[in-house]
Amino acid sequence: MDSIGQFDILATDSSSRARLGRLTTAHGPMDTPAFMPVGTQGTVKALAPRDLTALGVQTILANTYHLAIRPGPDIIRSAGGLHAFMGWDGPILTDSGGYQVFSLARLRTVRPDGVEFNNHFDGARLFLGPAEVMAIQRDLASDIAMVLDECPPWPCDHISACQAVDKTLAWAASCLEQDRAPGQLVFGIVQGGAHADLRGRCARELAAMGFDGYAIGGVSVGEPEPALIRGVDDSVGALPENRPRYLMGVGKPHQMVEAVARGIDMFDCVIPTRFARNGTAFTGQGPYPVKAGEYKNDPRPIEEGCACYACSRFSRAYIRHLLNVKEILGIQMLTLHNVHWHMSFMRRMRDAIANGRFAEFRREHNREKEPIAC
């Protein structure tokens, strides 16, 4: 029987560093390459857990910062942990909240032992350090807990990025010393901005600490795409081959393919759900705006050939109507389609690796597809 934290590499690609894997968690396996829909507040927006299960979602992401603000870790702990609280039986990864501290907080003060800041909800002064972040995640009882890190802005000079790496490494070591929930895995996070030497150093020192997995952070923060890819290249080479690698905040299909080709196993992003709320559908030919007037009398499904519930039942004209009159069902159905599309995309990528066709798959998705008139 597989043990919790075991990461099995089941197949590799001869033309790249892509690999097919399986991570065993306390709430079941995660087949990789994997995409994790984002449920920041303890829910993937517009979808129930039964929808996620039907779509083939194995793992979701929730956010420590937001759940610590509302409803609070005590309430979730008293409910039996985040799985019981939100009615989700599969694996949950909790981000540490470090990114939100640096992106949302006002009047923050960074100290060697953590960060003082005003939270975004009511402005109350709070402190988060490694002990506090890990204690909250222990109460949440997530399957994968992320360490507290300092995510520098883009662009960031070498001195500032170096200081962020120093704090990230110190906080990572402290996070490892904290108690954790039964079966809870802990991932380190590589920082370093656009500086290859800092990313390499951060990755090497984290690897020496012996985490259950490793994330690459500080990307998808406003930098141009070539810088994002360089950030992966500068980080991944020093990370252990036998542990999962997670690229944080990336969910564009062509970017995921290129990251997988470089040895990345896990992704998360708000793109499928956020695009749906903005009225945009993902398709194999590229995204398009279902809300556009040209679809007001279009009897076709969101994507022809798609087997999701929304496409099997409703027309573009109906979905557009729902979106334009602000009926909840429109967002729900478009979200369902977009998450289905991302799950299907990852399954096809895993199949390509398993069957020796990843190079062909990569060529097919080697660039971002422009928005289309579908």
d(CA 84, CA 95): 18
Crossing angle for the helix pair 253-261 and 225-236, nearest 10 degrees? 30
Same domain, 180 and 284: no
Same domain, 264 and 284: no
Crossing angle for the helix pair 253-261 and 328-354, nearest 10 degrees? 30
The 10s digit of each residue's pLDDT in 309-335 is: 999 999 999 999 999 999 999 999 999
Q: Is position 364 within any domain?
A: no
Residue 343 pLDDT more than 90?
A: yes
CA 295 to chain centre: 32
Same domain, 320 and 342: yes
CA 226 to chain centre: 20
d(CA 168, CA 361): 36
Residue 144 structural domain: 7-269
Residues 6+ apart with CB under 8 A from 211: 147, 172, 176, 186, 187, 188, 243
Q: What mean pLDDT comes out for the span 10-18? A: 98
Q: Comparing C-alpha atoms, which of 244, 344, 359, 259 is closest to residue 9?
A: 244
Last residue of one domain, picked from the residues 220, 240, 269? 269
CA 37 to chain centre: 7
Query: How would you classify the pairing of strands 34-37 and 266-269?
Result: parallel
Q: Is position 372 within any domain?
A: no
The 10s digit of each residue's pLDDT in 130-169 is: 999 999 999 999 999 999 999 998 999 999 999 999 999 9
Q: Is residue 175 within 8 Å of 130, Cβ to Cβ?
A: yes
Q: Is position 101 within any domain?
A: yes
Same domain, 123 and 229: yes
Residue 336 pLDDT more than 60?
A: yes
- Report pLDDT for 372: 59
Same domain, 289 and 171: no
* List 13, 95, 139, 212, catalytic entry: 95
Same domain, 254 and 347: no
Q: Kindly report the pTM of this predicted structure.
A: 0.97
Same domain, 213 and 198: yes
- Does the annotation mark 95 as catalytic? yes
d(CA 37, CA 53): 12
Same domain, 156 and 197: yes
- Vertex 355: Cα angle to 351 and 359 (nearest 5): 85
**How many other CB atoms are found less than 10 A from the CB of residue 5?**
19
Q: Name the more confident of 370 and 225.
A: 225
- Report pLDDT for 355: 98
Last residue of one domain, picked from the residues 241, 269, 297? 269
The 10s digit of each residue's pLDDT in 210-269 is: 999 999 999 999 999 999 999 999 999 999 999 999 999 999 999 999 999 999 999 999
Last residue of one domain, picked from the residues 269, 286, 317? 269
- Vertex 148: Cα angle to 146 and 154 (nearest 5): 105
Query: How would you classify the pairing of strands 288-289 and 144-146?
Result: unpaired
On average, the pLDDT of the chain sits at 95
Same domain, 281 and 354: yes
* List 139, 143, 265, 268, catalytic entry: 268
Q: Is position 99 within any domain?
A: yes
Same domain, 216 and 101: yes
Same domain, 261 and 316: no
Range name among 109-118, 129-138, 355-364 with the lowest pLDDT average = 109-118
The 10s digit of each residue's pLDDT in 17-54 is: 999 999 999 999 999 999 999 999 999 999 999 999 99
Q: Is position 117 within any domain?
A: yes
Query: How would you classify the pairing of strands 60-63 and 92-95?
Result: parallel
- Report pLDDT for 197: 98
d(CA 196, CA 198): 5
Q: Is position 125 within any domain?
A: yes
Q: Is position 367 within any domain?
A: no
Amino acid at 174: S
- Report pLDDT for 374: 42
Q: Is position 182 within any domain?
A: yes
Q: Is residue 180 within 8 Å of 145, Cβ to Cβ?
A: yes
Same domain, 115 and 225: yes
Look up the CATH number of the domain holding residue 235. 3.20.20.105
Residue 369 pLDDT more than 80?
A: yes
Domains of the chain: total: 2
